[in-house]
Structure 1
Amino acid sequence: MSYHAPILIIADESASDEASRVLSALTEARLLPAETAGWYEAGDAVVRLQPSAVIAIKGTEGALTALATQIAEIEPYVPLLVPGLGHPVAGNCIGFAGHDLDRLPARLRTALRVRTLHATTLRRLSDDGGIERQPQHDPLQDATVLLIGRGAAYPALSVALGERVGVVGALSIEAAAKNLNARELDGIVLAEGFSARVVDAFLTVLFEDTRFRNLPIVVTAPPPERSIDLPNLDFIQGDPAQVVAAALPLVRQHAFEAQLGRTLRALDAGGLIDPRSGLLTPSAFERDFATSVYQAQLRGDGLSVARFVLNRADPRAQFDTARIVSRLMRKMDFGTLQPDGSILVVFAETDLRGAQTIARRLMAVIRQTSHSARRDSRIDPDVSLATMMSGDSARAILSRLAKLDTRRAAS
C-alpha cells in the first residue's frame, strides 16, 4: 500500500546494514514511499518530509528524546518505532525486537491506521460544529490493562501497572476471558503461572478473534516454539518496571485509538454523546429523558430510572465504569455520567421489577471489574431505582430518586 507521506528511516552509517534490512522489509510489504536520513539531520528531515511514520535506529538517548518530543507535537499522529528498544526513553517510542523484522510491517500498519483515524477525526471536528474539541489529555488516563497471572511477580506487576493505568486482575484464563468480553481493554499483560500450552492456546484465541488481534500483548514467559502473527505481541523478561515501560507506548496508542473512536461516535450523534464516557452528555440526557417520559405517559408504557453511586471512585474509575455501562446496557436504554460522578440510566418500557433485574446485572459487572485508585479496593456501587407513575413528569421522577438517595445515605 502506498502512502502519500513517506515513512522516514533515521540511521547513521554505523547502522546502515540494519537500515537496509528495514527498508527491504518495508519494500517487500509495499509500505512505500520510504526515505532515509542521518541522525544529524533528523529534525530537519521531519519538518521537510512531514512523514507518516518514523523508524529510528540506534540513536543516542538525547537524540531520541528530542526526536520523540518533536514528533509528539505533530498532528495527525505520527508513530515512532524504535527497533531493539528495551526501555523506552519517551512515551511515544514504540519498541520491538530488532531482529524480528517480519512483524515490523504488521505493527507499522496498525500504527498507520491510528494515524488515519486521527486525520479523519481532525477533519470532521473542523467541519462539524456539533461537538467541541475535547481538551487534550494523556490517553493513559483512560487506559485499562488486563493483568493475568498467579505467580510471584503478579503483585509487583499489579502495583507497577496500577501507578500508570487502570488494572483489571485475573488469576485464571477463564476469568480473563470474561473480562475480555465485558469491557474495553487497551492491553494485556500475561505473567507467569501458566504452562506453555496454555499460553499458546490463549494467544491463538486472541489471534483468531478480530476484536483482540491488534491489542498490545506482553508475555513474560519464554516465546512458544511456533510463531503467532499478532502485530503488537511482545515477549519481555525482566523486572516489573521494565515490563511496564516496554508495554505502555503501545497501550497509549491503543487508548488513543479508542478515544478517537468515541469522538467519531459523538460526531455521528451530533455531539449528544460525551466522547470520554460513551454516554449522553448531561444536557442531551435531560432533553431525551423529558421526551421519553412524555411519550411513555401518552402510550401508557413503563419507564424506570436507576442512579449508580460509585463509592471510592476516582475520576478515572468513574469514566471507566461509565464506558462499561454504555457497552452493556440495552440499545433501547440511555444514560449519562453526572458531574458528581454518579451514573443515571433510563430503562425504557420497563417496570420496577424488570429495572431491578437489569440493575443487578450491571452492578455485578461493575463490582467485578471496576477498581478505585487504590488497588486493594473495588468500586462498591449503591443503586437507587424509581419508576414512572401516572401523571409523573421527568422532574418528579428525578426528585423521587434524589429522596431515595438521601434516605440510603442516611441509613
Structure 2
Amino acid sequence: MSQSGPILFVSNADRPPFVAALDEARLFPVVDTDWASAARAVEEVQPAAILAAMHGGHEPHMAALARKIAEQSPYLPFVAVDAAGTLPHNALPFSSRGGNPDRLIARLRAALRVRTLHATVLRRLPEVKVALPQGDPARDATVLLIGRGAAYPALSVALGERVGVVGALSIEAAAKHLNTRDLDGVVLAEGFTARVTDAFLTVLAEDTRFRSLPVIVTAHQLTQAYDLPNLELIPGEPAKVAANALPLIRQHAMEAQLSRTLRSIDAGGWLDPRSGLLTAEAFARDFAKAVEQTLARGGGLSVARFAFDPGNSRAQLDAARILSRLMRQMDFGVAQKDGSVIVVFAETDFRTAHMIARRLSAVMRHTSNGKHEMRSDPVVSVDSLSPSDTARSLLARLSADASRAAS
C-alpha cells in the first residue's frame, strides 16, 4: 500500500526483529525515535503511522504522545506493542507473540486504509453540503459479545458502558447477528472449546465482509494464524478487556462512519452520514414523489413507523442502521427528530408490509447499553396508501396509529 510518510517506531531499546523486518521488506520505511522525543518527532517526520514498544520508560511520555497523535489530520494510526496496562483511547493494542511480522503488516495496512479513507473524505467534502459527523465514533459503535461463562455478565456491563452491545449465548445466535447487523467488533468470551473458537475464527476469516472486523478473544490462546488483521487476544478482568478493545472498535466505527459520509457525498448530500438513511429533506421529496406516482399509475405503497423512547436515541440509531442494511433497494427511510424511524415499502401491500415490519422489529430488540438498560423495543405501526391520500395525510394517520398503539 502506498503511503504519504514512514512508520515512526518509538522505543527506548533496539528494534525487535519483527519491526526490522518491516524496513527490510521495504513495505514500510521505518524511522526510529525514543520516548522522550516521540511527540516532537510526530511533527518533524509527519509519519503515516506510529508503532510504539511498551517495554518501559514510556509512562511519563505516553499521554503527551497520544494527545499529539489525536490532534493530527487525517487519522494517524497509533499501534501500542505489548501493552501491559490500560491504553489511551487512540492506541491500538498489538501483541508481538511469535514475532511474526505478517500480523503487524496486516494490522498496519488495515489502519492505513482508514487513514486513506479519511483523507479521501476530507478532500471531497467541499463538493456538497455534507457535515462530517463530530464526536467520538465509539459512542455509535455496536459490539457482538459471545459467551456463556461467569465473566459474561461483567463483560456485558463493561462493554455496555462504552458501546452498544448485542449478546449471543451461542455461535449460532452470533451468526444471525453477523448477517443482519452492522457491527464494529466481536468479543469472544469464555464458554466455548478451543475447537469451536478455531472454527468460528476460520469462518470469519473466510468471509470478506468480516475480514477487517475487530475480533477480541478473551479466553483461549490462538494456536494458528487467521486472516483477520484486527484479531487480538486480550485476557484479564472485564474492565481491562473492554478498555483495550475499545481503540480497535473505535477505529472500525470511524471507518464505517467515513464510508457512510462518502456515500452521502456520492449521493449529493441526500443521505444522513450517521444513520445511513435519507435526510429529512430528501425523504420528504422522495415520499411525495412516490405517493404521486403510485396514485397515478396504481399499485401498492405502504409505510411503517418504528417509534422508540425519545430519551433512548441510541435505540433509534441502531434501528436506522439495521434498516439501512436490510431494506430492499427500492425502499427508503428516515430517522425523525421525535425518536422514530419511518420506512417506505414501494410496491407493497399492507399484509406484506406488516410481515416485513414485524421481522425487522424482531432484529431491533437485542441491543443493550450499560447498567441502566432502556427498553429498545419499538412501537410499530403500519399503513398503506389509499386513493384519497396525500403524502401528508398518510404520515399523519401513521403517527396517530402509533400514538394509539403506545397508549
Q: TM-score, normalised by structure 1?
A: 0.94
Q: How many Å separate the matches in 2 of 1:187 and 1:238?
A: 18
Deviations along 1:227-261, whole A, 9 cap, x unmatched? Answer: 33422112222111111122111011111101101
Q: How many Å separate the matches in 2 of 1:49 and 1:378?
A: 50
1:8 matched residue in structure 2: 8
Counterparts in 2 of 1:155-304, with a 5 A limit? 155-304=153-302
Query: Shift of residue 27 of structure 1?
Result: 2.5
Query: Shift of residue 50 of structure 1?
Result: 1.1
Deviations along 1:254-305, whole A, 9 cap, x unmatched? Answer: 1110110111111111111111111111111111100111111110121111
Counterparts in 2 of 1:320-331, with a 5 A limit? 320-331=318-329
1:46 matched residue in structure 2: 42
Q: How many Å separate the matches in 1 of 2:155 and 2:367?
A: 18
Counterparts in 2 of 1:359-378, with a 5 A limit? 359-367=357-365, 369-371=366-368, 378=375
1:406 to 399, 403, 407: 403
Is residue 8–residue 55 contact of structure 1 (8 Å, CA) maintained in 2?
Answer: yes
Higher mean displacement: 305-314 or 288-297: 305-314
Higher mean displacement: 355-364 or 251-260: 355-364
Matched letter for residue 82 of structure 1: A
Higher mean displacement: 167-176 or 204-213: 204-213
Q: How many Å separate the matches in 1 of 2:207 and 2:130?
A: 33
Query: Shift of residue 108 of structure 1?
Result: 0.6
Q: How many Å separate the matches in 2 of 1:172 and 1:240?
A: 19
Query: Shift of residue 151 of structure 1?
Result: 0.6
Deviations along 1:316-351, whole A, 9 cap, x unmatched? Answer: 221111100111111111000000110111111112
- 2:143 is equivalent to residue 150 of structure 1: no
SS in 2 for 1:140: helix
Aligned alpha-carbon RMSD (Å): 1.7
Q: How many Å separate the matches in 2 of 1:54 and 1:17?
A: 14
Q: How many Å separate the matches in 1 of 2:377 and 2:4?
A: 51
Q: TM-score, normalised by structure 2?
A: 0.94
Higher mean displacement: 279-288 or 33-42: 33-42
Q: How many Å separate the matches in 1 of 2:167 and 2:310?
A: 18
| Alignment CA distance shift 1:186-1:332 (3 Å) | same
Query: Shift of residue 28 of structure 1?
Result: 4.5
Is residue 372–residue 379 contact of structure 1 (8 Å, CA) maintained in 2?
Answer: no
Percent identity (aligned): 58
Size of the aligned set, in residue pairs, is: 403
Query: Shift of residue 311 of structure 1?
Result: 3.9
Q: How many Å separate the matches in 1 of 2:38 and 2:137?
A: 27
Matched letter for residue 44 of structure 1: R
Matched letter for residue 408 of structure 1: A
| Alignment CA distance shift 1:373-1:156 (3 Å) | closer
